[in-house]
Homo-oligomer: A and B are copies of this chain.
Amino acid sequence: MARITGVEVVDVRFPTSRDRDGSDAMNPDPDYSAAYLVLRTDDGPDGHGLVFTIGRGNDVQVAAIRSLAPHVLDRPVPETAADLGALYRELVGDSQLRWLGPEKGVAHMALGAVVNAAWDLAARRAGLPVWRFLAGMSPEEVVGLVDFRYLSDALTPDEALAVLRAAEPGKAGRAAALERDGYPAYTTSPGWLGYPDAKVEALTRQALADGFDMVKLKVGGDLADDVRRLRLVREVVGPDVRVAVDANQRWDVGTAIGWMRELAPFDPYWVEEPTSPDDVLAHRAIADALRPIKVATGEHVPNRVVFKQLLQAGAVDVVQLDACRVGGVNENVAILLLAAKFGVPVCPHAGGVGLCELVRHLAMFDFVAVSGTTDDRAVEWVDHLHEHFTDPAVVRGGRYVAPVAPGFSAELVPATLADFRYPDGPVWTELEAR
């Protein structure tokens, strides 16, 4: 029986703040980073996982992942849904580590990286990309992945089974359609807050030429700037392309409503992260005031308990799950099932380091085996840093191509690990020497 024989964790950082890629109203100078994990085995493939951060503190995230090593070292390589459910439950159930959350922040993201690396390992051994590996599980196996603690007032195991069983007919056809046509994407590349208008305009035209029918702009820095940029983009794309805006948590309730009313003439499709990701009641108040503009959030929602409340309260119109914020695939399956129960579309957050690579698997699993539809759904696409991955995300004609390589696509190429290691990789020592 193959075993996990090593846990390697590396602090990888990209000096993205030099170009203001990724700049928004809350995050003016991110250095996109990954706390990167490899589970070594004594037989067969290794497993890869990561936590995306934006620079400082990536070392703390590395320490948190290392603290979980005793749970996986010398463990048999997980192969089945039951193995992956057991590992997740053991990690969530570590009562001493639980104190550091519970189920939120640095400790929870570390747990998610270990769970995701275990999924990478299991899917590689099965010879399948994670989306196909997941979609091949029975409804009972999928339900067994989920921790229903704190969910039962909104979703019971029986209700989750019913959601999955309803999606059984047509699974093979939808998987084939994905391999043929891909999955809808939208692009944030034109809209970073630090870009000048000419760059926004050129990138928006490029997005149309590339086949996208939805783009997203960062807002929340300066109202006059936002009005000017949104008008510009709306003029470029015409009335039929969706234009979402993203405030990255800048506002209180009153400001969110007032600001968005100024942007409403340009028909924004959704407003993303209008306020604190913890604030269910504020999202409900904002959603009630702004309809038909949709309210979206999720990339910083800490766990399934907060997603549950956002859905129970009717506070979100779009669920933006994140591959690395919560407890890995298992908790994201819970979030997909909750969203399906409440009939709310899931449009995963991506960008960053590796998020496009990872979330496409979750969206495709949702289409094949949970919601059964791509209506009102699209995965975020930001076209940078993909060259660092061995199985990079590919978007063609405005759609994510279905991945075929076995695993979860989180593996970094060896040269990247050598060059961008912080603080001692050559990229950083050279920057330091300037």
Residues on A facing B (Cβ under 8 Å): 26-31, 53-57, 59-61, 63-64, 67, 94-110, 149-153, 249, 252-254, 275-282, 285, 300, 302-303, 305-306, 308-309, 312-313
Complex Cα distance, B216 from A90, in Å, reads 30
28 of the cross-chain contacts (CB-CB < 8 Å) are A27-B96, A29-B95, A30-B95, A30-B96, A54-B95, A54-B96, A56-B94, A56-B97, A59-B63, A60-B63, A60-B64, A60-B67, A60-B100, A60-B110, A104-B302, A105-B108, A105-B302, A106-B107, A149-B252, A150-B252, A150-B276, A152-B254, A278-B278, A278-B303, A278-B305, A278-B306, A279-B309, A280-B309
Given A98-B26, A305-B276, A309-B279, A57:B107 Cβ within 8 A: yes
Question: Is A281 a contact partner of B309 (Cβ separation < 8 A)?
Answer: yes
Q: How many copies are assembled?
A: 2
User: What's the Cα separation between A152 and B276 when bound, in Å?
Assistant: 12
A1 to B316, CA, bound (A): 51
Known A106-B106, A277-B102, A309-B281; judge A254-B153 contact (CB<8 A): yes
Tell me the bound Cα distance from A278 to B63 in angstroms: 25
Complex alpha-carbon distance, A303 and B313, angstroms? 20
- Name A's interface SS: loop
Distance between Cα atoms of A54 and B99 in the complex (Å): 7
Asked whether, in the complex, the Cβ of B57 is within 8 Å of the Cβ of A99, the reply is yes
Asked whether, in the complex, the Cβ of A275 is within 8 Å of the Cβ of B150, the reply is: yes
Contact A278:B59 (CB < 8 A) given known A28-B95, A54-B99, A96-B54: no
